Structure formats: C-alpha cells, structure tokens
Amino acid sequence: MRHQIGEAAGRAGRDPDSIRLIVVSKQNPPKKVLEAYQAGARCFGENKIQEAVSKIDEVNFLDINWHFIGHLQKNKIKYIDSRFELIHSVDSLSLAEKISAHCENHGEVQAVLLQVNISGEDAKFGMTPTELKNQLKDFGQLRGIRVHGLMMIPPQCDDPEDSRQFFCGLRELRDECLNLKVQGVQLKELSMGMTNDYKIAVEEGATLVRVGTAIFGERNPD
C-alpha cells in the first residue's frame, strides 16, 4: 500500500512522506487492528463513536493514532475525550461550536478537519464551499478546536478518474481559503481518497488517505 502511495506521489512530484495512510478499521475487531499494527500500521480510522471508544480502550498502544472519520452526532461528543488525534468530519459550524465548548470545559483542544460537500449531493454531509469561506473566521475564533484542514467524500463511481475533478476542487478551495489568511485556521491537511481512488487523490494533493477495504477486505454493509 505504501509503495502505491509512493508511486502516486512520485507522479505528482510530491514527497511520499507528506502523505499519511489512515487504515480504516471500522467494523473490524481489535484482533484485526492488532494484525495491522504488527504489519506496521499506526494510524487507524473509525466512523462510529461508541464502537471506536471500546476498540481504542482495548487496543491501548501509545504509538497508535486514532482518527474519527464518520458523521459525528452532537449527542456523542462527550465520548471523544482526548481519544482522537484528529476528527475529519466536522460538517457544520454548530457542530464545531459544540465540540469546542466540550473541549474547553475539559481543558482540551481538539484538532479537526472541516468536511466540505464539493459535489453538492443531497445525501452527503458537509458544508458548501461558499458556507466554508463565509464561516471560516468563525471557526478560527473557537478556542476548543484547531482547524488543520479539509475533508471530502466524492460521489461513488466505478472509474477512479471520475473523482479527480472533486479532489482538484477541494485542493483549489483550500488554496482560496489560505488566501483569506484567517487567524486560528491551518489548512495543511487534505483528507480525501479511499480504496478505489486514493492514488488519484494523492496525485491531486491528499495528505491523508482513508483506506480500509484494500487492507481488511470487504466489510458487511452498515
């Protein structure tokens, strides 16, 4: 997997070390996580908060970084306490405010990514690009979070090349937001690309790719 990421980075003239592989361990038992850990994986992604909490508590190694990549419901924020290096899926200002308030109350600061609905699909979570730009200053003023970048999920398609326009769109949106020079907002991370299209995502600037099926095999449907 790292070899393929390296090849994709090379095609784009990028340093392979600038891209992190997030091994998506959702619906896989702790035993599978341990096997991946023994094979060298150190960053794992979960998408259901309570499943993640029990798994993190069981697989308790100091050198594992856990990422939350699924939709986070406001009533589940109480479970995040210092468990996740990064939350990829902050899809609204109101959710960010709730996370920030929770973290402030516990003397913590949570690193997050802002989820953008680049494709405009009704079924996708995330802000529109316009909403993101209009609210970026508000995100920067929240003391309990730090914005580290953007995340997106492209439309499902058979041909990975069909995802390129959306990955390119997120990168260009990130560059537009950087030009706004909003204090308190860092945009060094782009979380995009999964098993089917991560190579295209790397070519278009991804710094975090979320891959599960290619590592663990097919999962049962949610």
pLDDT at residue 196 above 90? yes
For residue 220, the model assigns a pLDDT of 57
What the block records as the tokens of 159 is 């041909």
For residue 217, the model assigns a pLDDT of 80
pLDDT at residue 1 above 80? no
Domain-located, residue 221: no
Say if residues 43 and 67 touch (Cβ distance below 8 Å). yes
Domain-located, residue 184: yes
Domain-located, residue 54: yes
Say if residues 200 and 193 touch (Cβ distance below 8 Å). yes
Number of folded domains in the chain?
A: 1
Which ranges constitute the DSSP H helices of the chain? Answer: 2-11, 30-38, 49-58, 93-105, 129-140, 164-179, 198-203, 213-216
CATH number of the structural domain spanning residue 159: 3.20.20.10
For the chain, count helices (H), then strands (E). 8, 8
Average pLDDT over residues 180-191: 95
- Going from the C-alpha of 212 to that of each of 17, 32, 132, 140, the distances in angstroms are 20, 11, 28, 32
Each residue's pLDDT tens digit, 74-104: 999 999 888 999 999 999 999 999 999 999 9
For residue 123, the model assigns a pLDDT of 86
Diameter of the chain measured on Cα atoms: 46
Domain-located, residue 102: yes
For residue 159, the model assigns a pLDDT of 95
Dihedral (CA of 118, 164, 215, 67) sign: negative
How many residues comprise the chain? 222
Domain-located, residue 222: no
Domain extent at residue 20: 2-216
**Of 63, 65, 69, which Cα lies nearest the Cα of 82?**
65
What the block records as the tokens of 48 is 């259901």
pLDDT at residue 58 above 60? yes
Each residue's pLDDT tens digit, 98-154: 999 999 999 999 999 999 999 999 889 999 999 999 999 999 999 999 999 999 999
For residue 212, the model assigns a pLDDT of 86
Domain-located, residue 7: yes
Average pLDDT over residues 59-67: 91
What pLDDT band is residue 219 in, cutting at 50, 70 and 90? low
